[in-house]
Structures are given as C-alpha cells and as structure tokens.
Amino acid sequence: MSDDVESIEIRLLLEAVHARYGYDLRDYAAASMRRRVLAALASSGLPHLAELQHRVLHDRECFSDLLERLTVRVSELFRDPASFHAFRARVVPLLRTYPFLKIWHAGCATGQEAYTSAILLTEEGLYERAQLYATDLSQRALRDAKEAVYPATALPVFEQNHRASGATTDLADHITAAYDHISIRESLRKNILFFHHDLVSDHVFGEMHVVFCKNVLIYFGRELRERVLQKLAQSLRPGGFLCLGTAERLTGATATEKTFTPFSAEARIYRYEP
C-alpha cells in the first residue's frame, strides 16, 4: 500500500470516529497519530484500515479500545519531579496568599498528576482550601483515576520522584500498600472532582489559579495546539499559572503564547498576563 493511500485511510478512520462518536482527533500531530493508528490496526488482527473503520463504526466497544490506543495515558506520581520542586519553591508561596484555590488538571490520564498536587498541597498546608478539577478525554482512564489504585511495581519510582520534588513527608503517609498494589488515601481524594472533558470540543470553565496541562499539547498539531492553548488561557484568572510538560514550551511565537510569560521556564511554568 502506498503512503498516500494509508494517509487517506487514516483520515477516513478519524473522520468516522468524529462523525459517529464526536471525538475529534483529526488535528492531532500526524506522525505520532499514524504510528498509533498502525499499532492499533496490528493489534486488532484486521488486515486493513478499512475493516478497522467498519468495525469501529458498528461496535462501540471496538471504538473504546481504539480510543485507548490512540491516546497515550502514561503517567506517574510526581512525574518530572524538578517541575514540582520549582512549583513548590516558587508558586506555592504565592498560592498561600489566596483564601481558596481552584486548580485544573487537564488531561489527567489515570489520576497520578492530580494526586501529586493533592500530596504536595497537603504537605504545604494548602489542601483544605483547594478544589481540584481533573479531566480527561478517556472514560477508561477516568475510571482508573477515581479508583486510585496503582501497581506496587511503580512504587520505587513514585518514592524517588516524591523525594526529588522536595517532599516534606514520606510517601507512605499518603498511600496504603498491599502486596501487589498501592492505593491513594481517601483523605487526598475528597477535594478532587474527576470528570470527562474534551479539550478539543468542550467549553472551558474559568477562574483557575493553576492549570496543569502536562504532556497533552505535545500530541496536537500546530493549529489545534494554539486553539487549546487559547482555551487554557481563558480558563485562567490573570496572574494564574500554566504548568506544561518538559517537552512543551511557550516561546511567544503566537498571539496566545504572548499572553504567557515564563515564570520558571526550565520547569515549564508560565504566568498568564494578558
């Protein structure tokens, strides 16, 4: 099959997903989307993308499987610990000056990032005044996020990350460990609302003090990235903070990027200053 036909079939598959289920993946970064579509085809056992498209159109469960494969849900507690170290050192002192805090984790995957905030805010004495919103496109990821159970094999990395973030407590204070899994303590879950939200097609909610959108924009094509960045800007109060992933940076290259100033550029923390 020539590349061109493959590109057409991928486009048709994404059109079908959009028309049938309303999820708009058409403007995601093309090269990585192609890799994931082809991996999904290989694992489906079907010979051609046209067959996969047919099945996805007629079988919702098959669509859900495909969505899982097309979105990347890798996450960790205190992933990129240096960024949380900078957040703790530089952003937290400013957050202390507010009587209440609204924090949004956009693209929270299976919840580790929201629980990271909950642990960090608890350590800094701010959790009781915080309301966290944690959203994702994937219903399956959200289901796991609400369960807050992770394999015990991830614990050494979580502990190492936590220490490197400037922790003031032991991670053991915040989790319960069983032989093959760990779970996040109930006290850390109470101020977090997990719900479905699509950054591409849903409206945003406003007045956030902090928006974490880490390792999500990287999957979008240039125009979609700018559109979503605009939504993130709309959701922040002036002076609010946007925290991105290590591979994501704002350089002032677009009108929306210009409304953000680097606050801790190495940690990818930006301040919304329209």
Ligand X SMILES: C[S@@+](CC[C@H](N)C(=O)[O-])C[C@H]1O[C@@H](n2cnc3c(N)ncnc32)[C@H](O)[C@@H]1O
Judged by the rule CB under 6 A, the positions of this chain that interact with ligand X are 71-75, 79, 107-109, 113, 136-138, 141, 198-200, 214-216, 219, 245
- Give residue 31's identity as a one-letter amino acid code: A
CB of residue 154 vs ligand X: minimum separation in angstroms? 12
**Nearer Cβ to ligand X (209/214):** 214
Structure tokens of 257?
């990027």
**Nearer Cβ to ligand X (9/136):** 136
CB of residue 215 vs ligand X: minimum separation in angstroms? 4
CB of residue 47 vs ligand X: minimum separation in angstroms? 28
- Dihedral angle of Cα 201, 207, 210, 213, to the nearest 10 degrees: 0
**Nearer Cβ to ligand X (27/129):** 27
181: three-class secondary structure by DSSP = strand
User: Which residue, 126, 100, 107, 89, is CA-closest to 207?
Assistant: 100
C-alpha Rg value of the chain to the nearest Å: 19
**Which helix (H) or strand (E) segment is 112 a member of?**
helix 112-123
CB of residue 27 vs ligand X: minimum separation in angstroms? 10
**Nearer Cβ to ligand X (52/77):** 77
**Nearer Cβ to ligand X (135/191):** 135
Mention every residue, 6+ apart, whose C-beta is less than 8 A from residue 81. 160, 161, 162, 163, 164, 165
CB of residue 108 vs ligand X: minimum separation in angstroms? 6
